[in-house]
Amino acid sequence: MNCDIVFLLPLFIVTIGAILLMLLSAFESIRLEVASALSVGIFALAFLVQLVPIGLTDVLPFVSIFNGMLAVSDFTRIASMIIIACGLFTAMSAISYFRQNNFGSLEFFSLMTFAVSGMLLLTMAQELITVFIALETVSLSIYVLVGYNRRNVLSSEAVLKYLILGAFAGGFFAMGIALVYGALGDTGFAAIAASVSRDGLLHNPALAGGLLFILFALFFKVTVFPFHSWVVDVYDGAPIPVTGFMATALKTAIIAVLANVLLLAGDIRESWLDMLFYLTVLTLFAGNLIAIGQNSLKRMLAASGIVHTGYLLIALIAVSGDQFSGSVILYYLAAYAASTLGIFASLSYLSGTDEKRKEFNDFSGLAKVRPYSAAAITIFLLSMAGIPPTAGFMGKLYIIVTAYQGGHVILAVLGIVSSILSMWYYLRLIIAMYFHEADDLFETSGSRSAPVCAFILAICVLALSLYPVAI
Amino acid sequence: MIHDYLSLSILLFCLGILGVISRRNVFTVFMSVELMLNAANLAFIALARLHENMDGHVLAMLVMAVAAAEAALALAVVILLHKHTGKVDTNVFSLLKG
Amino acid sequence: MAQNVSYLGMIPLLPLIGAAVVGILHLATCKKKRLPDQLYAVLACSTPILTFVLAVKVFFDLNGLPVDGRALTHEVFTWFEVGEMNISMGFLADPLSSLMLLFVTFTASLIHIYSIGYMAGDESFAKFFAYLNLFLGSMLILVLGNGPVVMFVGWEGVGLCSYLLISYYSEDRSNVLAGNKAFIVNRIGDFGFVLGMAFLFWAIGDSGFDYISLKTNAHMLAPATVTLVCLLLFVGATGKSAQIPLYVWLPDAMAGPTPVSALIHAATMVTAGVYMVARFSFLYVHVPTVGLIVAWTGILTALVSAIYGMFQNDIKKVLAYSTVSQLGYMFAGVGLAAYSAGIFHVFTHAFFKALLFLGAGSVIYALHHEQNIWKMGGLKTKLPLTYKTMLIGSLALAGCPPFSGFFSKDEILYSALASGHTGIWVVGVLVAGMTAYYTFRMIFVVFHGSPRDAHAYEHAHEPPAVMTVPLVILAIGALFAGFLNLPSLFGGSQQVTHWLAPSLAEHAHEASHSIEIIAIAASVAAFAIGIFIAYRKFGKGAEEPVYSGFSSFAYHTFRINELYDVLFVRPYKAIGSAIGNLIDAHVTDGPVQLIVWFYRQFGSTFKLLQVGYVRVYAIYMIIGLSVMSYLLTQSFK
Amino acid sequence: MFENVLSTMIFLPIVIGLAAMLIPFSSTTARRIGLIVSLVVLFFGIKVYLGFTGNGQLEFTETRSLIESVGIFYRIGVDGISLFVLLTGAALIPIVFVVVKDRPRAFYGSLLVTQGAMAGAICAADLVLFYAFWEVMLLPIFFMIGIYGGPNRKAATIKIMLYTVSGSLLMLAAIIYLGVAFHGQYGVWSFDTAGLAGLQLSDKAAALSFFAFMIAFAIKIPIFPLHTWLPDAYTEAPAAATFLLSAIMAKIGIYAVIRFIMPIFGPELVRYAMPLAWAAVIGLIYCGIAAIGQKDIKRLLAFSSASHMGILALGLFCLNIQALTGSIYQIMAHATSTGLLFLLIGIIEDRLQTREISDLGGIARQAPIFACFFAIALLASVGLPGTSGFIGEFLIIMGAIKFDTTLGVLAATTLIIGVCYMLWMFQRVFFEKGNDRTNGFADLSICETLAFLPVILLILFMGVFPQPFIARITPAAQSQIATVQGTGQISGQVALDHIQPQK
């Protein structure tokens, strides 16, 4: 019993922290830094607690109370750690951002912490209702965060688009649950797995259809082609720390759920292999093709996020289901999260007041003025492009290894090809930063927390590359 | 009997989809989304009856709560956008593109 | 059989050291305080003299050996050994190379000394001597190298020095162009040489690639291989020895200082091709067809260049074409398997042609670098010594008995006649007449008659002793060298032929004395007719002729240079320019650019799809969902 | 430090280089540090050379577990082939620090990082490790071209980066495939070269992997028609970067073919040797002809370098001992000569601010030492006997003729082609009359002379006494040939034994 509470402690810490932060918002005299520090503290604490290893097999904490709705394992634990870390770094870098853009308020940190708690729940959820609740907790928090800059019409437009499409997908999710519920009379993953492994997925059309809707909604959230269109606009409109947070934490959580759903029983994945294959390939290439046309950095990063989703899909298709450790996926997520957060942390302080620097050209000559920032960004970009010795390279390596092992040679090769294509737009920023003359002084105001954040993440990106992952 | 409920539910759901993809008025779009969610709710209730357990009811309640929260947020956003542009046409809100 | 000695390596090494020392001293000091020219002169001239001493020693050492064992070898070190290919840096002195060695070091010594006077006061005096020493070293490697690969080192080395020395007055573009031309044309020949060498190696090279092993194993070669190898090697020879079709560089090479023309482009380097054919006589002797090709190429070159020579205005050009022409004779000789005759002509030619060039150098020196013979005239009185020595040289060149050229040339013509190649003989006699004509045309115009340029004439004076002494020594050589190989007809015993015999695979042509007498008579008649016509036309002074018709065509060397320019040089440059600036960037790179273009196009298409309308995004989603559903229903089947 | 000589040679420059980028030294200090570090590396290189026994095995090996779960080891060592490539780099790079002056400290830092990464790529015995160094060595070059390059540098950098990265990523796909296949066959993860040689692959898989490797190396070398990045990159790059690209990086491409393709893809190499050899020869002629049309001296040399790389590549595909030894020898010979030429051109550009051939002239008169050095390097690059260039070129031509007569004859045209553009260039730049610009050209300083002199001497020494080098190359080359021809094929069990002790 007291053991079980350790498993859920991070969730509790984060949730209680979120409520605490919300209460604190009532006090106007509290400075943003305090809230930021507080949320950083909460995340750090949760992270430390999360360090306790669990084991590969699912542990169901408080079975009697939760009736198996939640399960923890090393997979969820590490996914949670990534999410918490994302929250931590976002909370840190947001301060620098809000120092230059004065629409920040204490609720920001509260909402973000709520989102994190929802995500933690998502990773552990073993039951569709829980997934739905957690998903909506996350979504609602993030809707607000996306539109946080109320004076900016773009921010509002972004939240409108996200809200409409998110709710639209949510509708499908609900309908999917309804179908599954109709087919089985139960919404637990265990029941679905039992049914699928007993009869096969395709013998139960309602179940198959329901899972398809659920998959659809999840694909929407992780921006699989062709459900990706929103992501470019929403990332563009959202404040930079939020974009970074969405790109990393949200993706990690949803991928964790996807892994849980897809790997419920081997048959689910096998039956949809064709579909998943096409979606993966299209996602890889659509992301690249959208990205090359972009002039705005955030839009490019959004599009490149689509490509990374493609890589994660490769891993999801290829990882072996029977002894699922998810380490490859998690490693990739961690590598991706570190580099993406790093870039957004850098942008948080470099973009200036009202995000005036958003295009590639706005960063021309950055290396001449701020060599260290440029170097950090370069490391992040190289990691995203998969150039050694960065974590991104190892992540890709593991994914390709997995793909080969699963017999998906074509996916592996296409993954590499897409990586070649992605060099194009990553290089563009590097070229802008280094090879052009500076006509901007890149003055920044505000705290040094975002630069520190970028620095730590740059080291993480390099250090993670040596972190071994069992396949 | 259950088929009728479900048929109605599917019909409502499809209407919702149609509304989202065809209407330009933000309110109508959100109403269509609500329609989709309610279609799901209908299905939940009907299926709960079918399976004779309470899961469906719980789900329906939760979905309603979520729908309400979303609606609240949506209204806020619409007001915000209306303040910015004076319009409630989704086509107007296409500054972010390309 | 061959005897090992340890000093052969010293012979090429000495001049190379000399070159290095002089060169480094020059480089180190030329920009600051120059060292005195005398120092360089002493340093540079000591090496050819020392090598000459060594050459003499080689000769006597060989002489002391039994006739069959007349070969000295010196394997200095293993050059490289890769698989079955084992090439050692080895040197071989046999009668053939010792003869070459003797006259190369001898003429080189004299020309080095002459150059002290000729180049006096030149800004890069030391550089000139460094190059000369380097040349001598390379030439000696060429001569002494045991095996084609070592020979090739010298072969290319002399080519390089030739280039450097032709371009010596590098400020003038045409000089450098001449140097480039020489190097490139030589390289075309070297291309053939390398290929011949390669085919030879892969046929028998694995059991040793020095001359002695090659000679031993030559019988294992297939006839086709021998033919191919001999032809390819001959391509090399045409490059180096300026034969048709690669002779075009030699006349231009006269852009270099005159001692260079004497040493490199008359006496030594250009005869390397002949030497090489003689060296490989053990191959050529098996393929008479190739020999015939060689002989005809040679004699036609002799004819063509003799025609050019009759219409040149530049004293050095006249001599240059005469060199080409004489080289043609030599090839005719070696082509007809009269190797010793060819080599003997090389030997005598070295004396009289070096003499003529040095004489011409004296004239040019005296007239302050005037080279047009129509600006000279009457110099007999001003430059008596030069006149006398040049006259001796001219008589030798023209084949006047008993000058050296007479005996050597006659032997070639005699072997042509004796071996039944009447055509070659007829052309040869014709060329002999033309040679006499253009040689004495030059002599008459330059030294006889009245001065055409009074001012230059006034200031003309005999050059210093350092230049005239070599002239005299060479004149003595030109006069008497022929007696070294006096045929039995004149009571001689053909010492040179006998000396060379162990090195060459020669069959002697047995022919009666009557044929020999016919040959001699024809040559002498041709000489007499040629000199007579020359005297009639130019003996009493003549004005610069206006070339027209055929003579103009011949003056412009049948427009061969222009033809090559149009046929090879321009197209090559045009293709180069087209590839480098257009094709590479647009055609070869095309596929890459096309891919990039497609990628960009797709990119803009996808950008268009991001319309920004939220409804459209929902439609995309629905389409996606429909496709997913379709795929799902597909899997139900 | 002395136990891990190779690691020191790899990481000392990388660490110091990164430090030089981060710590605000003055430019001169950074240059001096670079010089000292590169000299230290050279010292270690000589130590390796002296300690090298030449037993055909990897020597000075170091093995450390890097990521054991997938069998990625930090495994380095040198054999007869890599030794000379390594030494060439170590010997040449100090010159750069003497000659290239007044650049920002990051420039010198990049140079050092490249040096270390290149040493890493040369020593790596693990494919993933090799890949990592292979990519890393390009990055500083990329920045050097992009930041310090000529006016069209951006297009050039994008091109070189995308081109080479495309190739190497394809290779990565193949590397991983091999690792997975090895795991499938032996149940052990390993990317060790010697181990992978024991793989049994299906024909199709082997052929595809072979081409993935080959394309990556062919781009780096470059082999026609994948050379199109080269003229722009070489031209736009600062002299030091061009030097690194031409003298060392291209050679690593050649070396990699010998090191990785020959043992692993022997049968494929034999099967596709003919078309590849043709590509090499076409490139040799094509680029040689293209060089004559250039107006920019560096571009001319770029094409010349591409042309020469054609002949080096040809040596690889002839699959006989002469040609292969020739190629390996030529790696050093060409590195010294072309590297020197690019550095000397860099000096011209530095002092006269122009590379247009038509703007130059008469330099030989102004700067005899400079001209002399240039001429020697030039002659070596056209393969004049007595210089290093001849031995390699001669061996390759001989080997090519043995392999295929037509190819051999075409390859021998390099004798003619090379000399045409080189002499033309030499004439226009060094001979003829000087102009106002070139008349002020200062000769090499004593320091520069002393820096170049060892290499000049090396060029001559290698031309006259090649045997000490060749004696160390031939055993390794012989064993590679044997491997390719199948007589030295490593059986699977041997491969496994090779891996096991590490576990």
Binding partners of D (≥3 Cβ pairs within 8 A):
A, C
Nearest CA in chain C to B21: C615
CB C560 within 8 A of CB C307: no
Domain count of the fold of chain B: 1
Q: Which two tokens stand for residue C230?
A: 């001999």
Residue D488 has pLDDT above 70, yes or no: no
Q: Report the pLDDT value the prediction gives residue A471, as an integer from 0 to 100.
A: 62
Is A389's CB within 8 Å of D69's CB?
no
Classify residue C32 as exposed, middle or buried by CB count within 10 Å of its CB (0-12, 13-18, 19+): exposed
Nearest CA in chain D to A410: D173
CB C68 within 8 A of CB C110: no
Is A412's CB within 8 Å of D176's CB?
yes
**Rounded distance, CA C269 to CA C137, Å?**
12
D467 to chain C, any CB pair closer than 8 A? The answer is yes
User: Where in the sequence is the domain holding D112, given as residue range(s)?
Assistant: 5-502
C631 to chain B, any CB pair closer than 8 A? The answer is no
What residues of chain A lie within 8 A of the CB of B49, using their CB?
none
CB B47 within 8 A of CB B14: no
C614 to chain B, any CB pair closer than 8 A? The answer is yes
Nearest CA in chain B to C616: B21
Domain count of the fold of chain C: 4
Is residue C472 located within the same domain as residue C357? yes
Q: pLDDT above 90 covers what percent of chain D?
A: 33
Is C617's CB within 8 Å of A294's CB?
no
In a domain, B60, yes or no: yes
A393-419 pLDDT per residue, tens = 989 988 988 888 888 889 999 999 999
Is residue C490 located within the same domain as residue C595? no
D349-398 pLDDT per residue, tens = 888 888 888 888 888 888 889 999 999 999 999 989 989 999 999 999 99
Alpha carbon of C601: minimum distance to chain B alpha carbons (Å): 14
> Which of D285, D407, D432 to mutate to probe the C interface, most C CBs <10 Å?
D432
Is D70's CB within 8 Å of A469's CB?
yes
Mean confidence (pLDDT) of chain A: 87
Nearest CA in chain A to C612: A233
**Rounded distance, CA A262 to CA A219, Å?**
12
Is residue C412 located within the same domain as residue C472? yes
Instruction: List, as ranges, residues 291-310 from A with C-beta within 8 Å of B.
Output: 293-294, 299
Q: Report the pLDDT value the prediction gives residue D372, as an integer from 0 to 100.
A: 92
In a domain, A440, yes or no: yes
Binding partners of C (≥3 Cβ pairs within 8 A):
A, B, D
Q: Report the pLDDT value the prediction gives residue D502, as an integer from 0 to 100.
A: 47
Is B96's CB within 8 Å of A157's CB?
yes
3-state SS, one letter per residue, for chain A: CHHHHHHHHHHHHHHHHHHHHHHHCCCCCCCHHHHHHHHHHHHHHHHHHHCCCCCCCCECCCHHHHCCCECECHHHHHHHHHHHHHHHHHHHHHHHHHHHCCCCCHHHHHHHHHHHHHHHHHHHECEHHHHHHHHHHHHHHHHHHHCCCCCCHHHHHHHHHHHHHHHHHHHHHHHHHHHHHHHHCCCEHHHHHHHHHHHCHHHCHHHHHHHHHHHHHHHHHCCCCCCCHHHHHHHHHCCHHHHHHHHHHHHHHHHHHHHHHHCCCHHHHHHCHHHHHHHHHHHHHHHHHHHHCCCEHHHHHHHHHHHHHHHHHHHHHHCCCCCCCCHHHHHHHHHHHHHHHHHHHHHHHHCCHHHCCCEHHHHCCHHHHCHHHHHHHHHHHHHHHCCCCCHHHHHHHHHHHHHHHCCCHHHHHHHHHHHHHHHHHHHHHHHHHHHCCCCCCCCCCCCCHHHHHHHHHHHHHHHHCCCCCCC
In a domain, B94, yes or no: no
Residue C448 has pLDDT above 70, yes or no: yes
- 3-state class (DSSP) for residue D61: strand
In D41-179, the DSSP E strands lie at 59-67, 72-78
Is B21's CB within 8 Å of C613's CB?
no
Which of C81, C176, C578 is the closest to D293 by Cβ?
Answer: C578
B60 to chain A, any CB pair closer than 8 A? The answer is no
Which of B40, B84, B95 is the closest to A178 by Cβ?
Answer: B40
* ipTM, interface predicted TM-score of the complex: 0.89
Is residue C84 located within the same domain as residue C18? yes
- Mean predicted confidence (pLDDT) in D458-463: 91
What residues of chain C lie within 8 A of the CB of D452, using their CB?
none
Alpha carbon of B50: minimum distance to chain C alpha carbons (Å): 26
User: Where in the sequence is the domain holding A22, given as residue range(s)?
Assistant: 2-464
Considering just the CA atoms, what is the radius of gyration of chain A in Å?
Answer: 21
**Rounded distance, CA C348 to CA D332, Å?**
46
Residue A1 has pLDDT above 50, yes or no: no
Taking Cα atoms as reference points, which of A86, A80, A85 lies closest to residue A120? A80
Taking Cα atoms as reference points, which of D307, D333, D285 lies closest to residue D456? D333
Q: Report the pLDDT value the prediction gives residue D441, as an integer from 0 to 100.
A: 85
What residues of chain C lie within 8 A of the CB of A278, using their CB?
631
Pick the more confident residue, A354 or C279: C279
**Rounded distance, CA C159 to CA D385, Å?**
11
User: Where residue A325 falls among pLDDT bands split at 50, 70, 90?
Assistant: low
D162-206 pLDDT per residue, tens = 888 888 899 999 999 998 888 888 888 888 887 888 788 888 888
Is D163's CB within 8 Å of C31's CB?
no
- Mean predicted confidence (pLDDT) in D271-284: 92
Alpha carbon of B29: minimum distance to chain A alpha carbons (Å): 7
Alpha carbon of D15: minimum distance to chain C alpha carbons (Å): 37
User: Where residue A56 falls among pLDDT bands split at 50, 70, 90?
Assistant: low
Is A401's CB within 8 Å of D170's CB?
no
Classify residue C37 as exposed, middle or buried by CB count within 10 Å of its CB (0-12, 13-18, 19+): middle
Q: Report the pLDDT value the prediction gives residue C548, as an integer from 0 to 100.
A: 81
Q: Report the pLDDT value the prediction gives residue A2, as an integer from 0 to 100.
A: 53
- Mean predicted confidence (pLDDT) in A140-162: 90
Is residue C622 located within the same domain as residue C568? no
Alpha carbon of B17: minimum distance to chain C alpha carbons (Å): 8
Is D173's CB within 8 Å of A435's CB?
no
Is C615's CB within 8 Å of B24's CB?
yes
Is residue C393 located within the same domain as residue C515? yes
What residues of chain A lie within 8 A of the CB of B43, using their CB?
175, 178-179, 182
C558-615 pLDDT per residue, tens = 888 888 889 988 999 899 888 888 888 888 888 888 988 998 898 888 888 888 888 8
What residues of chain A lie within 8 A of the CB of C610, using their CB?
229, 232-233, 290
Binding partners of B (≥3 Cβ pairs within 8 A):
A, C
Which of A159, A185, A233 is the closest to B77 by Cβ?
Answer: A159
In a domain, A214, yes or no: yes
A364-399 pLDDT per residue, tens = 888 888 888 999 999 999 999 988 889 999 899 889
B13 to chain A, any CB pair closer than 8 A? The answer is yes
CB C242 within 8 A of CB C327: yes
C82 forms beta bridges with: C85
**Rounded distance, CA A132 to CA A128, Å?**
6
- Mean predicted confidence (pLDDT) in C179-204: 91
Alpha carbon of A470: minimum distance to chain D alpha carbons (Å): 5
**Rounded distance, CA A438 to CA A363, Å?**
8
For chains B and D, tell me whether 3 or more CB atom pairs sit within 8 A of each other. no
Which of B23, B95, B98 is the closest to C610 by Cβ?
Answer: B98
Which of C80, C176, C575 is the closest to D431 by Cβ?
Answer: C176
Which of A226, A274, A290 is the closest to C607 by Cβ?
Answer: A290
> Which of D65, D172, D175, D202 to mutate to probe the A interface, most A CBs <10 Å?
D172
Residue B81 has pLDDT above 50, yes or no: yes
User: Where in the sequence is the domain holding B38, given as residue range(s)?
Assistant: 2-88
C32 to chain D, any CB pair closer than 8 A? The answer is no
Which of D21, D132, D146 is the closest to A388 by Cβ?
Answer: D132
C510-529 pLDDT per residue, tens = 667 788 888 888 889 999 99
Taking Cα atoms as reference points, which of D146, D150, D148, D170 lies closest to residue D159? D146
Residue C452 has pLDDT above 90, yes or no: no
Taking Cα atoms as reference points, which of C143, C506, C510, C104 lies closest to residue C340? C506
Q: Report the pLDDT value the prediction gives residue C482, as an integer from 0 to 100.
A: 84
D376 to chain C, any CB pair closer than 8 A? The answer is no
Residue D500 has pLDDT above 70, yes or no: no
Which of A172, A212, A286 is the closest to C606 by Cβ?
Answer: A286
Residue C433 has pLDDT above 60, yes or no: yes
Q: Report the pLDDT value the prediction gives residue A306, as an integer from 0 to 100.
A: 93
B98 to chain C, any CB pair closer than 8 A? The answer is yes
Domain count of the fold of chain A: 1
Alpha carbon of C611: minimum distance to chain B alpha carbons (Å): 5
User: Where in the sequence is the domain holding C473, given as residue range(s)?
Assistant: 345-554
Nearest CA in chain A to C636: A202
- Mean predicted confidence (pLDDT) in C76-87: 88
Nearest CA in chain C to A288: C603
- 3-state class (DSSP) for residue C243: coil
Is residue C181 located within the same domain as residue C85? yes
Instruction: List, as ranges, residues 293-352 from D with C-beta within 8 Å of C.
Output: 293-294, 299, 303, 320-322, 325-326
Q: Report the pLDDT value the prediction gives residue D482, as an integer from 0 to 100.
A: 85
What residues of chain C lie within 8 A of the CB of B93, using their CB?
614
In a domain, A471, yes or no: no
Binding partners of A (≥3 Cβ pairs within 8 A):
B, C, D
Residue D496 has pLDDT above 80, yes or no: no
Question: CATH number, domain at B42?
Answer: 1.10.287.3510
Mean confidence (pLDDT) of chain D: 87
Residue C509 has pLDDT above 70, yes or no: no
Look up residue C172 and give its DSSP letter: S
H-only helix segments in C556-589: 560-564, 570-578
Q: Report the pLDDT value the prediction gives residue A323, as an integer from 0 to 100.
A: 55
Q: Report the pLDDT value the prediction gives residue C340, as an integer from 0 to 100.
A: 87
